Amino acid sequence: MKHLPNPLRRHLAALRALAVLTVLLGLIYPLAATGLAQVLFHDNANGSAVLAGGRDVGSSLIGQSFTDAAGLPVRKYFQSRPSAAGDGYDPTSTSASNLGPEDVIDVPPAGGEKGRQSLLTQVCARSRAAGELEGVSGARPYCTPDGVGAVLKVFPGRAVSVNQPCPATPFVAAYQGVRVECARPGEDYAAGRTVPVRGNAPTPPAVPADAVTASGSGLDPHISPAYADLQAPRVAKERGLPLDRVRALIEQHTTGRILGFMGEPSVNVLELNLALDEG
């Protein structure tokens, strides 16, 4: 080795370092970490799987839908909060919608494109649907009765309910003495002044916020106790159970704040539904 040229010695040293680090960091370390995880944190390392009837039915860390083949809520089950991860609760596509409070105007279909609902309209539509499911008012500030964002585009002498395409009837007949029109497909309203209209919806709304907004990850398996309590009468009726029994199960599956002060109490939807199925 002493007689090898310096460039060759450096290359051989680099290859030896590569081999040692590959074995150390690419083989020994992963095996050690995996082994320790299996011994010390077996359930967590295997996805926090939830078993029912001897088979995996989900994860305590990842939400899921409780809907039928048509995508409609199964009425005997508590419903999860919405998800923006892929087609819903997809761990390979975890994300939020990345839409903010200023996103209040829908993008209509055009040129073969499907269009897009604004965040406001998504919230309005979810609130209306949840209200109908639970038998309460789904009314919400800045939402129309038909479940879209109550937003006007105002021009001199003209006002348009921009999220209500014709032939819809605008949610208000007039704005500052000007008759409100429905939105004509294909017409550009970008130059108008954007005016969200609060309306007279109750505060707070009957439908909680977590029933109409997705979590940051899109995978949240929990709902708030308020949303669980809203659903309790429906679930009790569908299952023929006393309401007090269903509310007791909600209490049993409610997790308090972390360390007593971080976060908010939450209810694991999958575990609650499994407890109902077990009777």
Do residues 265 and 225 lie in contact, with contact meaning Cβ atoms separated by under 8 Å?
yes
Distance from CA of residue 163 to its chain's centroid? Answer: 22
Do residues 166 and 184 lie in contact, with contact meaning Cβ atoms separated by under 8 Å?
yes
Classify strands 178-183 and 158-165 as parallel, antiparallel or unpaired: parallel
pLDDT for the residue 1: 53
Which residue numbers in the chain have pLDDT < 50? Answer: none
Task: List, as one string, the DSSP characters of 185-213.
Answer: TT---TTSEEEE--TT--SS-SS-GGGTS
pLDDT for the residue 68: 94
pLDDT for the residue 114: 84
**pLDDT tens track for 170-183:** 999 999 999 999 99
Percent of the chain with pLDDT over 90: 67
Q: By C-alpha distance, which of 115, 80, 84, 78 is closest to 97?
A: 84
Q: Encoding tokens for residue 279?
A: 């009777």
pLDDT for the residue 229: 97
pLDDT for the residue 36: 82
Mean of the per-residue pLDDT values of the chain: 91
pLDDT for the residue 40: 77
pLDDT for the residue 10: 84
Q: For residue 1, which amino acid is it? A: M
Q: How far apart are CA 170 and CA 161, in angstroms?
A: 6
**pLDDT tens track for 130-164:** 999 999 999 999 999 999 999 999 999 999 999 99
Q: By C-alpha distance, which of 227, 217, 268 is closest to 126?
A: 227
Q: How far apart are CA 19 and CA 89, in angstroms?
A: 40
Q: Encoding tokens for residue 133?
A: 């499911």
pLDDT for the residue 32: 86
Task: Could you list the beta-strand ranges (E) of 26-82.
Answer: 49-52, 55-59
